[in-house]
Amino acid sequence: MSLCLLYARSLCPTASCRLSPAASAPPSLPPPPPAPATLRLSPASTSPACALQCSHFQSCSGCTHELNLHRPSVVDDAADFFKSLGVSDFTFDSCKLWGWRCRAKLAVRGSSVDPLIGLYQEGTHSVVDIPNCKAHHPNINAAMELLKQGIKELGIEPHDEDQGTGDLRYVQMAVTTYNTSIPASERYQHGQVQVALVWNSRNENSPNSDKLNALAHFLWRNGGSKCKVPFIHSVWANFQTSTSNVIFGNRWRHLLGDRDFWEHLGGIDVSLAPSSFGQANTRAFNSLLRKLQKYVPYGASVTDLYAGSGVIGLSLAATRKCRSVRCVEINKESKLSFEKTVERLPKYVDSSISWHQADTSVEPTSWLVGSDVIVVDPPRKGLEASLVGALQTLPAWELKTRSSPESFKTKEEKRPWVLRAREASVQVGNDLSEENRHSVPQTLIYISCGWESFKEDCKSLLSSKAWHLEKAHGFNFFPGTQSIEVLAVFKRRENMHIKKKKAGKKKKKSPAKKQKALMHQEVMT
């Protein structure tokens, strides 16, 4: 069998949750996928058409349940939670149920004769080989098979954690469906894989670098652009010798194929370096972006916190014609991807756009003020306590600036963290921060990948009476797990800073004072 045709394992369909009990399980060669469904919540279906049916389920730690992939039980909890807060129209997008994962970090263990590529078994560091993963985009599975053949033919030794030996530690595979040369309906099926090999050496000049180059050329020769049906986008190397559980080292090297990795998300072309964060479920993420855009007014000023390479903020700049967009991210590796994405923004975008490397937990109010809309997309642990506190006390800050605006005039900045953020920042267009530096956001859009942490943050925000919850939507980013992505829209409560005076009874004037007032009135007339 030609290695170039390994990619041809058929894509599993996108499932609609409105399935009849008679629906059958996905066959090995499924029919064309129907459009994804957005669900109004209804009793769970146990149809086999929504079952995982994966041979690796019992040993792999990736998926936690086999049935009802379209509607994990956590959705019931979410619906009840939001209903208790007055949001009764919570919706859940089932998204794609199989072949949805376009980004995977996999451990490489075993031997050069029998390599294992997959995930750790639950609670151990024993790797489970998952060549037929139902969650992976089929071309990730094809690239895994090709990588195994290269390891065997070239005698590449997988990493041995106990001994600290071996050459190949991990592999990251990311699929791009960006290919304007073919119809849009076929691009997902023909997605190409960026392969990043995590090599057990300090740099490209280490003694085992010949093996690295040989493996890269093997992958490219059998799956690259000169192949009849190419499915390898590019090959990268990352160098890591640490004994910790950290997957990537700080040193990257582009080996073969296209250097730039592009995807079309939220209405814009997005650049993603192998070192920067990218959503594993690109189709579901695109659905979320489209929903999010509806809650941002045209011409608004937006701050995107935990911004990564700025995908959310830049998509809003393009689709909502924002007056200004600030993207704040702690990882400096995202800066280059941000700059490349900005270069490809549509010509009509005329926003003040900036990216800042900064920790939002340090004096967060400085990032909140000056915007109409705040977007937060924190890691699974949720928002830092300092940021929650700043969001709770925004009305008090606003009242203070109104009563004493002189105290908030710009002063010469000496704080080290602010200076570092300015040095690392990127500014595109005119800086409008001075024009809006006293404005306070009226909308908070919270994107959550950690349901339990979101509930705590939501309760804290609402307890301050500064915000109320307006809308909530769920997305099935990780079918086969109890994890859902939530998009929640909070609005500022109007006039929270104005204290109403209690109406008291008027004091009656004494007869003497009343007579004096009458005499005064006569004199005046």
**Do the beta carbons of residue 270 and residue 276 sit within 8 Å?**
no
Token pair, residue 411, equals 């002063």
Strands (E), 368-484: 373-376, 426-428, 443-448, 467-475
Closest-CA residue to 135 (of 486, 483, 487): 483
Other Cβ atoms closer than 10 A to 497:
17
Token pair, residue 18, equals 């409105």
Residues 188-201 as b or e (16 or more Cβ within 10 Å = b): bbbbbbbbbbbbbb
Q: Which residues 6+ apart lie within 8 Å of 505 measured at CB?
A: none
**Do the beta carbons of residue 48 and residue 69 sit within 8 Å?**
no
CA distance 275 to 277: 7
CA distance 107 to 115: 10
Q: What is the largest CA-CA distance in the chain?
A: 114
CA distance 68 to 74: 11
Alpha-helical runs (H) found in 155-281: 209-223
Token pair, residue 316, equals 């809003």
**Do the beta carbons of residue 6 and residue 227 sit within 8 Å?**
no
**Torsion, Cα of 381, 383, 384, 386 (10° steps):** -160
Kind and range of the H or E run holding 398: helix 394-403
CA distance 96 to 169: 30
Q: Which residues 6+ apart lie within 8 Å of 346 measured at CB?
A: 268, 318
CA distance 479 to 432: 42
Residue 188 among known ligand-binding residues? no
Angle at CA of residue 68, ends 67 and 73, nearest 5° = 105
CA distance 483 to 481: 5
Q: Give me the phi and psi of 324, to 5 degrees please.
A: -150, 150
CA distance 419 to 424: 9
Residue 329 among known ligand-binding residues? yes
The answer to whether residue 449 is catalytic is yes
N- to C-terminal Cα separation, the chain: 111
DSSP three-state, residue 123: coil
Residue 377 among known ligand-binding residues? yes
Q: Which of 322, 327, 449, 458 is catalytic?
A: 449
Strands (E), 161-258: 168-176, 192-199, 232-239, 251-257
Per-residue HEC secondary structure of 334-376 comes to HHHHHHHHHHCCCCCCCCEEEEEECCCCCCCHHHHCCCCEEEE
Known binding site for S-adenosyl-L-methionine: residues?
A: 279, 306, 329, 377
Known binding site: residues?
A: 279, 306, 329, 377
The residues carrying an active-site annotation are 449
